[in-house]
Amino acid sequence: MIRHTVAFRLVHPDGSAEETAFLADGRRILTGIPGVEDFVVSRQVSPKSTHRFQFAMSFADQAAYDAYNGHPEHVAFVTTRWMPEVAEFDELDFVALAPAAPDAL
Instruction: Write out the residues near a second copy by the rule CB under 8 A.
Output: 2-4, 7, 20-21, 23-24, 27, 40-46, 48-49, 51, 54, 90-97, 99-100, 104-105
Whole-number minimum distance, CB 45 to a second copy, in Å? 5
Give the nearer residue to a second copy in terms of CB position, either 13 or 48.
Answer: 48
CA 50 vs CA 15, 22, 45, 47, 69: distances in Å: 16, 18, 9, 7, 26
Of the candidates 74, 11, 70, 13, the residue with the CA atom closest to the CA atom of residue 39: 74
Whole-number minimum distance, CB 2 to a second copy, in Å? 7
Compute CA 92 distance to the chain's CA centroid, rounded to the nearest angstrom. Answer: 9
Cα(12)–Cα(14) distance, rounded to whole angstroms?
7
Give the nearer residue to a second copy in terms of CB position, either 51 or 71.
Answer: 51
Whole-number minimum distance, CB 70 to a second copy, in Å? 16
